[in-house]
C-alpha cells in the first residue's frame, strides 16, 4: 500500500496561513520595538536581529555553536529515545512490569532536567557526558509516556488472535503491536525532540564553552540583546525544522496516521 501523493500546489497553499501569521508577528514586533514602552536597547527590531544573525554567521560563531548543540542534542535524544521506546513497549505490553516501573517513572517525571544540573555536574563534571545524560534523561521520560500509552491501547483481542493463529512473539511484535503503536511512537519522537532542545538549554547553561544556549548566556552578560534575540530565533527555527523532519519521515512509515 502506498501513500496517496499530495495534489500539486497543496504544500505551497498550506504555507499561506503560516506566512501571514509570521508577517503579523513581525509587524507587531517592529511596532513594539519602535513605539512601545520597552526601554531603548532592550527590544531590537526584526531588522537589527537579522543583522546580528548575519554577523554571527559570517564570524563562524553560529556554525560552531549550532554544531555543538546539534551534536549534544542528537546524541542525548538518540539515547533517550531508544531506551524510552524499549521501556515503553515493555511496560505497555507486560502489565506486571508496568506495575513495577510506572510508579518509579511517575516519581521522576516531575523532576526537570534543570534541577539535576548540579548533581550531574558533581558526578560527571562539566564535560559532554553530563550534558548528554541530562538530555537523555528528559527524552527518556517523555518518550516512555507516549509509547507506553500507545502500546497499552492496542486491543488485546488482536494480540490474542495472532497468538491463536500460532504467530511467535517476534511476529506478534512486528506485525501487530508495532504497526498499531506506530502513530504513538511517532508522536513520542516528535515530543521527545522538543524536550531534547529544552534539556539542551538547561545543560548548556549549567556549564559549557560552546552551544546556542551558552552563547545566549554570554550575550546576556553583556546585554547584547540583538544577539540574544538572534539566538532565540535560531533555537525556535531549529525546533520547527526538527519537528517537520520527523513528521515527514514518520508519514512515510505511518502513512495512515493523521500525525
Give the domains, in start order, of the chain with CATH numbers. Answer: 73-253 (1.10.3720.10)
Measured between alpha carbons, how far is 259 from 256 in angstroms, rounded to an integer? 9
Tell me if 43 sits within 8 A of 32, measured CB to CB.
yes
3-class SS shares of the chain: helix, strand, coil, % to 5: 80, 0, 20
Give the model's pLDDT for residue 54.
95
Band (243; pLDDT cuts 50, 70, 90): very high
pLDDT at residue 11 tops 80? no
pLDDT tens column, 17-41: 877 888 888 888 888 888 877 777 7
pLDDT the model gives residue 256:
52
Quick: pLDDT tens for 56-98. 999 999 999 999 999 999 999 999 999 999 999 999 988 899 9
pTM of the predicted structure, to 2 decimals: 0.83
Whether 7 shows a pLDDT value over 70: the answer reads: no
pLDDT of amino acid 14: 61
**How far are the Cα atoms of 25, 74, 237, 241 from residue 18, in angstroms, in the given order?**
11, 27, 13, 14
Helix (H) or strand (E) holding 67: helix 61-93
pLDDT tier at 258, thresholds 50, 70, 90: very low
The per-residue pLDDT for 31 is 84
- Residue 3 scores a pLDDT above 50: no
Amino acid at each position: 500500500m502506498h501513500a496517496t501523493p499530495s495534489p500539486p500546489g497543496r504544500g505551497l497553499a498550506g504555507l499561506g496561513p503560516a506566512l501571514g501569521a509570521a508577517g503579523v508577528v513581525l509587524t507587531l514586533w517592529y511596532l513594539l520595538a519602535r513605539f512601545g514602552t520597552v526601554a531603548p536597547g532592550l527590544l531590537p527590531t526584526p531588522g537589527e536581529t537579522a543583522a546580528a544573525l548575519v554577523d554571527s554567521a559570517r564570524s563562524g560563531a553560529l556554525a560552531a555553536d549550532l554544531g555543538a548543540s546539534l551534536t549534544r542534542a542528537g546524541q542525548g535524544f538518540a539515547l533517550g529515545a531508544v531506551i524510552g521506546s524499549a521501556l515503553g513497549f515493555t511496560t505497555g505490553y507486560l502489565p506486571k512490569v508496568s506495575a513495577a516501573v510506572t510508579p518509579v517513572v511517575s516519581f521522576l517525571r516531575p523532576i526537570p532536567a534543570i534541577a539535576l544540573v548540579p548533581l550531574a555536574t558533581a558526578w560527571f563534571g562539566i564535560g559532554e557526558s553530563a550534558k548528554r545524560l541530562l538530555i537523555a534523561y528528559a527524552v527518556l521520560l517523555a518518550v516512555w509516556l507516549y509509547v507506553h500509552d500507545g502500546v497499552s491501547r492496542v486491543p488485546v483481542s488482536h494480540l490474542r488472535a495472532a497468538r491463536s493463529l500460532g504467530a511467535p512473539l517476534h511476529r506478534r511484535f512486528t506485525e501487530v503491536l508495532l504497526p498499531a503503536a506506530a502513530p504513538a511512537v511517532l508522536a513520542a519522537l516528535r515530543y521527545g525532540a522538543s524536550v531534547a532542545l529544552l534539556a539542551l538549554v538547561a545543560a548548556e547553561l549549567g556549564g559549557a564553552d560552546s552551544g546556542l544556549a551558552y552563547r545566549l548566556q554570554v550575550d546576556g552578560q553583556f546585554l547584547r540583546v540583538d544577539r540574544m534575540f538572534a539566538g532565540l530565533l535560531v533555537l525556535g527555527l531549529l525546533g520547527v525544522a526538527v519537528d517537520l523532519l520527523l513528521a515527514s519521515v514518520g508519514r512515510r512509515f505511518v502513512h495512515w496516521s493523521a500525525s
